[in-house]
Amino acid sequence: MKHLACSLIFFATASAWALDLPAREIFSRGINTWDGEILEIIKGRGATLGWYISAQREEDVTVSIEFTCPKPPDQEYQISFDGQDRFWTVPATKGTNWHRAKLGTFRARPGLPLLVLLVPPSNRKYEHPLRFRRLILESQTASNLTRAKAPEPPVLPDAAPGFGKKLTNMHPALAALDLRDDQLRRISGMAMRGAGELLFTTWKGDLLSFDLTKATNPPQFRLIAQGLSEPMGLAVSNGRLFVTEKNQATELIDADGDGKFEIYRCVSHEWPATLDYHEYLFGAVVKDEWLYFANSAAMAIRNTHNRQAYLRGSIIRAHIDTGKTEIVAGGLRTANGIGFGPDGSILVTDNQGEWLPGNKLVQLQPKAFYNFRSRPPWHPFDRPIATPPAVWLPHPEIAMSPTEPITLSKNWGPYAGQVLYGDATFGGLQRVFLEEVEGVLQGAVFPFSQGFRHLFNRFAFTPEGDLYAGGIARGSNQKFIADVSGLTRIRHTGKRVFEPLAARLRSNGIEIEFTQRLAPNTGWNPAGYFVTQWGYQATQTYGGQKVRHRRSEVRTATVSTDRRHVFLELPDLVENEIFRIRLPQSLQSAKGDSLWTGELWYTVNRIPKKHPGRIQSAPQQAMLAAEPFFRFSGKDTGSVMYQNYCAACHTLDGSKRIGPSFRSLAKATRQTFDPDGNKHTIKVDANYLRQSIVEPGAHVVEGYQNIMPPMAGLLRESQIDALVNYLLKLK
């Protein structure tokens, strides 16, 4: 990461060709305040200091800032220009005159609108504001750069579960059995020992055995080890047990064969650690005698100095015999899931947040850097252009806290070889199809199933293909945690289900494969596919940005001869963007089945050069549509916003989850605490709700923790309005 030496120029001579980006034109100010045309910045999180520009030709652009700051923050600002990031150490200024500092020189590309972002540091408030008036963009070519209107996010069609909204029910081809006893079991690691014994660890530090050959319900779990330190991963290799504890990878050894583990052998702890609550070792897989796991980043420090211990956010491997330890990859944030992908590759999930504008599924590659960072000293693998994920898992559309990925066994019918992952907040199971394009892994994520009691964190397959899934939760609501934590057996019943199965990128579009043949003369009308696309901009504050979020043209739709595939011609394919494809609920299979879900997100890392999809003229009768494929009433915008952004933590029925329920919210009275600990009595109205969305920490409801991220950087004003109106109308 390039670090800027600040050149401080007192009103430098302006270039002949300069473009102003005034403070007043930013997307959102967060909790920062206006003084006329001046933005007084005290905190980064929740604000989006951004503009779009466009360039007619490619050339270098120098970006400067006009500001005053007598007492600078002790953390750097991020300046991003079309995804190119630099850091700026703010110098102290004297007097009230405006100062100008050069932030960097960037390459502007012609064509697409380019996002320019100024990102203040971390989540900490600074008592002394940086007063900011404008950015100045200087180039050599007259009128090459112009300010562009921020693209309005596309108006989305009305939604239903599985079609623009989170699923609510269990997949028709799954059968689930909850295996609960009367103890709290927050399952943190899971593995099979032999064919008939399931082992799992709990967050509090127990290791339990479940004899699947004598499975009863209520289950009889046998405690076989205890006293582990916050284990978050468990692996069995040739009968040996490995646990990834908070600060140490450990082998549990039963030397005398009495069934008790009396030796806790330290395989490795060769990396720095602190007392931060969020420093865990996530996941555990053994491959070729090496134990792989992730050491997660600290989180409490975000509100203070924001310094990570060196090498946090790495994938580490330790040799199970010698203890030799190596850093495999860096730039992970909360990589709460490691599993084997197809062909023995290792897949890792990561949770969105700072430097992660979305959740991710990455394929582990040696010396890769996945983009999370904090402050210098940088990770040894840090680099300006991060290794892209195999699949983005957009937040909160299809993931919020993704957990372990697991490759489906051959007993899982059409889904065999695909990857499932759980989610400790969003819930359910999501399904990923992966393909290699030009040597790079990418693919699509599909909603698969909700309707489970537990929030799944870890998985293990039996040889027969039963999937055991362990749930977990965090927070202060013990009843909620107890309710969603525990063990579930999931079985694929083989029942026939109609849904999109896979999506493959072609040079000129995407081919969607279905589990069944489409009904004759259906699927041909391009109006039956609602497609949007965007890129991502990572920011050092929580959230990040969708860039150039827009509706995509679907030029043609071609149904294959076997009617199992539809090729969508997409003329605006762009690398490093995500396509979200909605199918109409009216689409039916040849057997008359309706779609279980009609949505997918495809990550375009590479566009295949010589692999076009087949385009064919539609039969005349196939283009007729008795009624519109999609409706755009806008009436459920608020409910979709609630479902996507709020429902994981706030119920509508009065029950408590991580946050307070929204039942009877309008005009209700809330006891709250401000950041200084002062108690307030607040009547819920539009202003309070808006503030709670933009700055959740301003008034935290009594009995709950201040853990909600501010949403101002994620939502447009119109979306916040829709959400507030929806909440005020709740009964």
Partner 1 sequence: MKLGFPLLLAWLLSPMTVIAADDLPFDRTRINRYSLDGVVRSVAIRQGERIWFGYDLERATPFKVWRAPGERGDSGLKRGYTTKSVGTVLFEDKSKHDWKLRQGDSEHGMKTRYLGCTEGKGYFKFSWEFRHGSRRLKLSERVPIDGDRIVRELRVEGLKSGETLQLPTQAWKTPDGKSVNALSNSKWFRLVLP
Q: Are 303 and 286 in contact (CB under 8 A)?
A: no
Distance CA 123, CA 540 (A): 9
Specify the stretch interacting with partner 1 by CB under 8 A; choose among 47-55, 103-111, 264-272, 377-385: 264-272
Instruction: Using CB under 8 A, pick the residue from 65, 150, 225, 281 that binds partner 1.
Output: 225
216 touches partner 1 by CB under 8 A: yes
Q: β-strands 545-551, 530-537: how paired?
A: antiparallel
250 touches partner 1 by CB under 8 A: yes
User: What number of other Cβ atoms are within 10 A of residue 262's Cβ?
Assistant: 11
Question: What angle is formed at CA 544 by the lines to CA 484 and CA 331, rounded to 5 degrees?
Answer: 80
Using the CB atoms, write b or e for 582-593: b if 16+ within 10 Å: bbbbbbbbeeeb
210 touches partner 1 by CB under 8 A: no
In sign, the C-alpha dihedral spanning 687, 690, 691, 692 is positive
Tokens for 719? 């979306």
Instruction: Using CB under 8 A, pick the residue from 269, 606, 611, 670 that binds partner 1.
Output: 269
Q: How far is the CB of 227 from partner 1 (least distance, A)?
A: 3
User: What number of other Cβ atoms are within 10 A of residue 725's Cβ?
Assistant: 14
Specify the stretch interacting with partner 1 by CB under 8 A; choose among 12-20, 66-74, 226-234, 448-456: 226-234
Q: How far is the CB of 709 from partner 1 (least distance, A)?
A: 23
User: What number of other Cβ atoms are within 10 A of residue 731's Cβ?
Assistant: 7
221 touches partner 1 by CB under 8 A: yes
Instruction: Look up residue 261 and give its amino acid.
Output: F
11 touches partner 1 by CB under 8 A: no
Nearest one of 486, 334, 313 to 402, comparing CA atoms: 334
Q: How far is the CB of 262 from partner 1 (least distance, A)?
A: 5
223 touches partner 1 by CB under 8 A: yes
Instruction: Using CB under 8 A, pick the residue from 57, 107, 109, 222 that binds partner 1.
Output: 222
Tokens for 494? 């083989």
183 touches partner 1 by CB under 8 A: yes
Distance CA 93, CA 75 (A): 16
Q: What is the 3-state secondary structure (H, E, C) of 501-558?
A: EEEEEECCEEEEEECCCECCCCCCCHHHCEEEEEEEECCCCCCCEEEEEEECCCCEEE
Q: How far is the CB of 177 from partner 1 (least distance, A)?
A: 17
Q: How far is the CB of 273 from partner 1 (least distance, A)?
A: 5
Specify the stretch interacting with partner 1 by CB under 8 A; choose among 263-271, 451-459, 623-631, 709-717: 263-271
Nearer residue to partner 1 within complex by CB, 314 or 692: 314
Q: What is the DSSP string of 442-477?
A: EEEEEEEE---SS-EEEEEE-TT-PEEEEE---SS-
Nearer residue to partner 1 within complex by CB, 205 or 417: 205
Instruction: Using CB under 8 A, pick the residue from 4, 192, 273, 652 that binds partner 1.
Output: 273
Q: How many residues bind partner 1 (CB under 8 A)?
A: 39
Instruction: Using CB under 8 A, pick the residue from 117, 228, 510, 570 that binds partner 1.
Output: 228
Specify the stretch interacting with partner 1 by CB under 8 A; choose among 6-14, 265-273, 606-614, 679-687: 265-273
55: phi then psi, degrees, rounded to nearest 5: -125, 140
Specify the stretch interacting with partner 1 by CB under 8 A; choose among 153-161, 242-250, 573-581, 722-730: 242-250
Q: Which residues pair with 330 in a beta bridge?
A: 369
208 touches partner 1 by CB under 8 A: yes
Q: How far is the CB of 356 from partner 1 (least distance, A)?
A: 25
Distances (CA, A) of 113 to 351, 392, 547, 561, 689: 28, 22, 9, 39, 33
274 touches partner 1 by CB under 8 A: yes
Q: How far is the CB of 220 from partner 1 (least distance, A)?
A: 6
Tokens for 656? 């408590």
Q: How far is the CB of 330 from partner 1 (least distance, A)?
A: 21
262 touches partner 1 by CB under 8 A: yes
Restricting to residues 648-677, which ones interact with partner 1 according to CB under 8 A? none
260 touches partner 1 by CB under 8 A: yes
300 touches partner 1 by CB under 8 A: no
277 touches partner 1 by CB under 8 A: yes
Nearer residue to partner 1 within complex by CB, 105 or 322: 322
257 touches partner 1 by CB under 8 A: no
476 touches partner 1 by CB under 8 A: no
Q: How far is the CB of 247 from partner 1 (least distance, A)?
A: 5
The answer to whether the peptide bond before residue 389 is cis (omega within 30 degrees of 0) is: no
Nearer residue to partner 1 within complex by CB, 474 or 564: 474
For 251, half-sphere exposure in the C-beta direction (CA atoms, 13 angstrom radius) is 22
Specify the stretch interacting with partner 1 by CB under 8 A; choose among 205-213, 505-513, 618-626, 672-680: 205-213
205 touches partner 1 by CB under 8 A: yes
Instruction: Using CB under 8 A, pick the residue from 265, 453, 606, 670 that binds partner 1.
Output: 265
181 touches partner 1 by CB under 8 A: yes
689: phi then psi, degrees, rounded to nearest 5: -65, -45
182 touches partner 1 by CB under 8 A: yes
Restricting to residues 385-424, which ones interact with partner 1 according to CB under 8 A? none
Q: How far is the CB of 279 from partner 1 (least distance, A)?
A: 9
Distance CA 589, CA 515 (A): 9
Q: Are 380 and 329 in contact (CB under 8 A)?
A: no
Instruction: Using CB under 8 A, pick the residue from 229, 478, 617, 705 that binds partner 1.
Output: 229
User: What number of other Cβ atoms are within 10 A of residue 607's Cβ?
Assistant: 15
Helix (H) or strand (E) holding 620: none
326 touches partner 1 by CB under 8 A: no
Using the CB atoms, write b or e for 223-260: b if 16+ within 10 Å: ebbeebebbbbbbbbeebbbbbbbbbbbbbeeeeeeee
Distances (CA, A) of 206 to 188, 299, 469, 636: 10, 25, 17, 45
Tokens for 452? 């489970």
245 touches partner 1 by CB under 8 A: yes
Specify the stretch interacting with partner 1 by CB under 8 A; choose among 114-122, 246-254, 291-299, 460-468: 246-254
Q: How far is the CB of 658 from partner 1 (least distance, A)?
A: 19
User: What number of other Cβ atoms are within 10 A of residue 44's Cβ?
Assistant: 30
680 touches partner 1 by CB under 8 A: no
Q: How far is the CB of 203 from partner 1 (least distance, A)?
A: 9
321 touches partner 1 by CB under 8 A: no
Contacts with partner 1 by CB under 8 A lie at 181-183, 205-206, 208, 216, 218, 220-230, 245-248, 250-251, 259-266, 269, 273-275, 277, 323
